[in-house]
Amino acid sequence: MPGKRRPRAAAPMAAEDELLLLQRQALAEEEADKTKREMLTRFLNDKLAKEKRSSTLNLHKLNAQWRAVLRDTKDKELRQDMEILSQTFERVMDCKDSVIESLATDLEEAEEQHAQALRSHLHNVDRLLQLQRCRLTCLEEGYDAQLEALKTEFEAERYKEAEGQRWHPLAVL
């Protein structure tokens, strides 16, 4: 009967072994599941990191392209503004040039009028000087005539006096 005991003893052992085997298999499956989950988590994290890098890179590319488009647009706007300002500047310069030419013409006319007024003034001053010389000459002639008349009268009186003294009876004394 010892042979019978063994199978009986082996049967509980086999059940325990089976249970242990099942537990080991369950543990192995759990570990395999855990490893799969970890691998899946790592894979998904790696994929997420790649996606983030890719998305960041694409965002940078997109921003660079957008900035290039904005630069081109701004360049066109600035060139157009520069053209408008250039044309405006040319118009202003033309206007100022015409004003300068007008002022130069006015200045020439004013200088001509000044020269004419100066000639007229000098002519009038010459006429006044000539008139004053004539008046002075007339006055000198009148003075000289009066002086001659006075001299003649004085000489006549003197002569009369001298003759009167000669004939005067008291004059002999």
Q: Is a pLDDT exceeding 60 seen at residue 167?
A: no
- Predicted confidence (pLDDT) per residue in 64-86, tens digit: 999 999 999 999 999 999 999 99
Q: How confident is residue 113, by pLDDT bands cut at 50, 70 and 90?
A: very high
Is the CA virtual torsion 72, 78, 84, 90 positive or negative? Answer: negative
Domain count, the chain: 1
Q: Establish if 37 belongs to a structural domain.
A: yes
Domain assignment of residue 121, given as a range: 21-138
| Any domain includes 158 | no
- Kindly report, residue by residue over 9-61, the tens digit of the pLDDT: 455 677 788 888 888 888 888 888 889 899 989 999 999 999 999 999 999 99
Give the end-to-end CA distance of the chain in Å, rounded to a whole number.
234
DSSP conformation class of 169 = T
pLDDT at 16: 80
Cα separation, 112 vs 116, in Å, equals: 6
Asked if residue 86 belongs to a domain, the reply is yes
